[in-house]
A and B are shown apart, each in its own frame.
Chain A
Amino acid sequence: MDEKNLIKSALKGDATSFALLFHENYPFLVKYLVKISLNIDLAEEIAQETMAKCMEKLHLFNGKSKFSSWLITIATNVYFDYLRKEKREKNWQLQEQAFRKIKWQFESRNEEWNDVLSALGKLSEEVRIPIILKHYYGYSYEDIGHMMKLSAGTIKSRVHNGILAVRKELKLDEEVKNHSLENRSTN
């Protein structure tokens, strides 16, 4: 059964169709949430909340965008709701622990921890998420604005400022200048 038919059956309350839709989109959803939260346990928790919300709101899905795009729109909003709640509880220590855990998972798989991930982790979610949606998933500023309920201009400036912050953090200006200078001297 294709996605459209699955959605039609799910709207009628068919549990198997819902399960198939979620089963197919779960890895994509969790991977997106890991990227924006840099926290594997939290990503799984938010993914479950997203699926519950999706069941509640499926009648609002207009079918113009992909189901996966609609799912990450909901996931982004569920994540922001979680952050608002977490701010009230001031759970900074848990966030720090999660960051250490993801670093440890990298090392245990003999993969080098990327400095760029640390730099992204230092950005606020309001800046990090638009960068990921724009430059990793390829959404337009208008689409991201629609997802985050902000204007395209605001998203554009957040992405621009975020890129500048990562540039500074990684000292990429010097790296590129040195590289171009080397190229000129060899030429």
Chain B
Amino acid sequence: MKRSKIIPLKTDQLIDNHTINKISEGLDSLDRLPVETPSQKWFEQFVIEQQRLAKEKWRKELLLFSLIAIFILSVVIFSLYQMPIIFIVLQGIGIATIIIYSMIYIKKQVKPDER
């Protein structure tokens, strides 16, 4: 009885090892396909182009951020001097949003511990 249990396990391990060897051989054959590595100069140009794109993206994001900030500040200053009630309501909505968001976040954090 013991013998019949041990042999299939060994065979199973043997087949697994054989499969892994076959996979390695197959992947080795993929390694033999030629890979054309571009020249050092191509890589330098690629890096310079990526750095230029990153700077451009950063400038765009900074501009967008500044425009949004100016717009929000204008609305706040305008409402503070021209319509103080709207300013107070906006402040109230802001505080309520922060409280509700924090409560939901704390509840989500507590849930895994409850299990």
A132 smallest CB distance to B (angstroms): 7
Q: Which label, helix, strand, loop or mixed, suits the secondary structure of the A interface?
A: helix
| Across-interface contacts of B20 in A (CB, < 8 A) | 135, 163
| Across-interface contacts of A131 in B (CB, < 8 A) | 23
| Across-interface contacts of A105 in B (CB, < 8 A) | 33
| Across-interface contacts of B72 in A (CB, < 8 A) | none
Residue of B with least CB distance to A170: B22
Contact at B43–A19, with CB atoms within 8 Å?
A: yes
Determine the interface band of chain B, counting residues with CB < 8 A from chain A.
Answer: 20 to 34
Determine the interface band of chain A, counting residues with CB < 8 A from chain B.
Answer: 35 or more
How many angstroms from the CA of A176 to the CA of B21 in the assembled complex?
13
Contact at B29–A111, with CB atoms within 8 Å?
A: yes
Which residue, of B27, B44, B51, has the highest number of chain A Cβ atoms within 10 A?
B27
| Residue-wise interface mask of B (38-50) relative to A, using a CB-CB cutoff of 8 A (1 in contact, 0 not) | 1010011011101
A117 and B26 in contact, given A19-B47, A48-B46, A167-B16 (Cβ under 8 angstroms): yes
Contact at A30–B46, with CB atoms within 8 Å?
A: no
Which of the residues A18, A19, A27, A48 comes within 8 Å of B35, measured between beta carbons? A27
| Across-interface contacts of A20 in B (CB, < 8 A) | 40, 43
Is A99 close to B, CB under 8 A? no
B interface residue numbers (CB < 8 A to A): 11, 14-16, 18-20, 22-27, 29-33, 35, 37-38, 40, 43-44, 46-48, 50-51, 54
Apart from A106-B29, A135-B20, list 17 A-B contacts with CB within 8 A. A15-B44, A16-B44, A22-B46, A23-B43, A26-B43, A34-B35, A40-B33, A55-B50, A116-B22, A120-B23, A135-B23, A135-B24, A163-B20, A167-B19, A175-B18, A176-B11, A176-B14
